[in-house]
Amino acid sequence: GSAEAELVGLYAAGLRTLLLDASGGFTIEDRCTGAVIAAGEYAAAGDRVTLRSRGAAPIVLGRDRERLLHPDWAEFAPLAPEPSRRAEPESELIDDAGAVAGEE
């Protein structure tokens, strides 16, 4: 639903990242190794987000505006989207190429 759509994105808490995707799936990974710690589906209801994966107890996170809170973990804060960071070096390359072309 729309509550889930608002949450889509990549979050970080300490050494963990949490990805909530548009199809209602989630993945928690170790930021250092990239190993998947948990994966499954998520649902939002009120100020709570529930992460459900097979063979594991549900993980319930509280919502505080854009942050997701777990009593035993650091809070998950949104990470800036990757494409904006990747675009910076490309724009610098374009500027450099333009300057070189202009000198000839």
- Which amino acid, one-letter code, is at 66? E
Predicted confidence (pLDDT) per residue in 92-104, tens digit: 544 555 554 445 4
Structure-model confidence comparison of residues 93 and 74, the more confident one: 74
Distance CA 68, CA 81 (A): 17
Predicted confidence (pLDDT) per residue in 14-70, tens digit: 999 999 999 999 999 999 999 999 999 999 999 999 999 999 999 999 999 889 998
Distance CA 40, CA 20 (A): 10
Q: Which domains does the chain have, with CATH numbers?
A: 2-79 (2.40.128)
Q: Between vectors from CA 47 to CA 42 and to CA 17, what angle results, nearest 5°? A: 45
- For the full predicted model, state whether its pTM sits above 0.75: no
pLDDT value of residue 3: 78
